[in-house]
Structure 1
Amino acid sequence: MERVSADRAAGRTWRRVRIVSVPPSDYTRYGIEVARLSVKAGEDIGYLDRAAAERLGLAPYDAWLLDAARLVHLHFSDADDTFVGAELVISDGSARRRTRARRVSDRGRRKAPCGTPPA
């Protein structure tokens, strides 16, 4: 959280869209609860339900969008949604699709206060 806070103080933005199943698994609910610490530190986290992600052509995993050409895919187990690793992806169109997902998530947040994840 110190890194997020320091980056935010320096004017950098931390944003991510979490793709979640509805209803969320226990691990996803835990992740949403823990994410409140990141949000408090300055990270902007949006939530997108899996069906909307599929309509946008997104693979079913979270990502940190670093800039217009780079993102980090976060991989989770299909069995229980536990974190299994991360992968840096550069210029394969994923960043563009994630930017689109960010806009969809932002529109959803205007309807659900505070980026409330789907229940």
Structure 2
Amino acid sequence: MCIRDSRDALAALLADGLLSPAAVREQSGKLSNELQAVESALDAADTLNPAVGVIAAEDVAAAWHGLPLNHRRQIIRALMDVTVRPAGKGVRFSADQVMVTPKIAGVPAA
């Protein structure tokens, strides 16, 4: 049972006369504090890992483009290995010089 459901159940117990108003207030206060702690932890997770907001977004592309550059870099570093091969003297840069390899848990990068 989630915290909000537990809090709602208190109202039903009060209505049924199974708990006193004082007991309901006490338990409701405890549950509200617990809920606030959980919501704070979730908010902190969002700021620690910018990928959370992108993954949860309805429009992932818009969420990605709305991120600051440093957050995009953080996500890319967490998910991929990016290697830029040297071009050599006098050779113009080409996209073929960039290797992007996804990081897969338990599988070493190629």
Q: Give the TM-score normalised by the residue count of structure 1.
A: 0.25
Query: Which structure has greater strand proportion?
Result: 1
With CA pairs under 8 Å and 6+ residues apart, which has the higher RCO, 1 or 2? 1
Of the two, which has the highest radius of gyration? 2
Query: Which structure has greater helix proportion?
Result: 2
